[in-house]
Amino acid sequence: MKIKEHRRDGVAILEMSGKLMGGPDAESFDETLKTLIHEGCKNVIVNMDKVTWVNSTGLGILISGYTTLKKSGGELKLLKVSDRIENIFIVSKLYTVFQSFKDEDEAVQSFA
Amino acid sequence: MKSRIELKLPSDMAFLGVPDALLMELGSDMDCCKRSLEELGSSVIEACTNAMEHGNKLDPGQDIQVIYEIEDDRIVITVLDRGPGFDFTHWQPSEELMRKRGRGILIMREFTDLLEFGTHDDGRFMIRLTKTLDPSRDEDQDPDQGAD
């Protein structure tokens, strides 16, 4: 998994690509969030457009990130989740936890 | 017509995408629903995650084996590892929504027609996933097909 970051209106947008499956991915994502929180940026959008698949340990990475940001007073939201991955969010009931958007502008404005 | 394909992979998570990629390739030549194929793909990824991590303890010297049995309208996938396995008969999904682990069985159960656990003839632990790939399912769910 690779992570590219840019910011808009105080919101960090993390563009993830590849497979989201735990292991080193968890450490890399956790470190990125810790750095953002340290810099005072606690509202994060994870762009999933280039994520090919997620497994159950990958879901754990997103849950961990969501919890970390929530504890810091921020929030983690999702952008451009594919139908395949959305199906996993539905069966695991995690769609009730993560706000998800199709459009980046709309996702950024949701933090205003 | 029934085809059988076998795949052996080291217990290294870097190879987790291979069984899914092979399934997508096999499915591309079948008259089947994309959504069903992706659900089976997510299930085989979970089965292989379990086999590598819990079965073979991520020992790259220990292979997992993935067997694809392809029939006209369904695929049966068997994943084998060297671990002791676990007792599925008493498994219950956790109610803790924010748990970081423990969704693999749920995903496999929800996304397959039949999910079986057991011991193979040679003593290896086995997860078997069966899914019918109904081509009409895509039409049912495609908003461009006239549904209001």
Identify residue A103 by its one-letter amino acid code. Answer: D
Strand ranges for A21-95 from DSSP E: 43-54, 75-79
CA B84 vs. chain centroid, Å, equals 19
pTM of the model: 0.90
CATH code linked to domain A2-102: 3.30.750.24
Contact yes or no for A64 and B107 at CB 8 A: no
pLDDT of A7-25, one tens digit each? 999 999 999 999 999 777 8
Q: What's the pLDDT at B145?
A: 41
User: What CATH number corresponds to the domain at position B44?
Assistant: 3.30.565.10
Whether residue B138 is predicted with pLDDT greater than 70 in this model: the reply is no
Q: Would you call A103 helix, strand, or coil by DSSP?
A: coil
Chain B nearest-CA residue for A94: B97
Whether residue B91 is predicted with pLDDT greater than 90 in this model: the reply is no
- Number of domains within chain B: 1
Range of the domain at B119: 3-145
pLDDT of B35-90, one tens digit each? 999 999 999 999 999 999 999 999 999 999 999 999 888 999 999 999 988 777 77
Does the beta carbon of A21 lie under 8 angstroms from any beta carbon of chain B?
A: yes
- Chain B positions touching A55 (Cβ under 8 A) are 16, 42, 45-46, 49, 104
Q: What's the pLDDT at B147?
A: 36
d(CA B31, CA B73): 8
Whether residue A40 is predicted with pLDDT greater than 70 in this model: the reply is yes
- Chain B positions touching A88 (Cβ under 8 A) are 42, 107
Whether residue A84 is predicted with pLDDT greater than 70 in this model: the reply is yes
Where along chain A do its domains lie?
2-102
What is residue B15's DSSP assignment? G
Specify the length of chain A in residues.
Answer: 112
Whether residue B146 is predicted with pLDDT greater than 50 in this model: the reply is no
d(CA B147, CA B33): 18
Angle, alpha carbons B27-A21-A102 (nearest 5°): 75
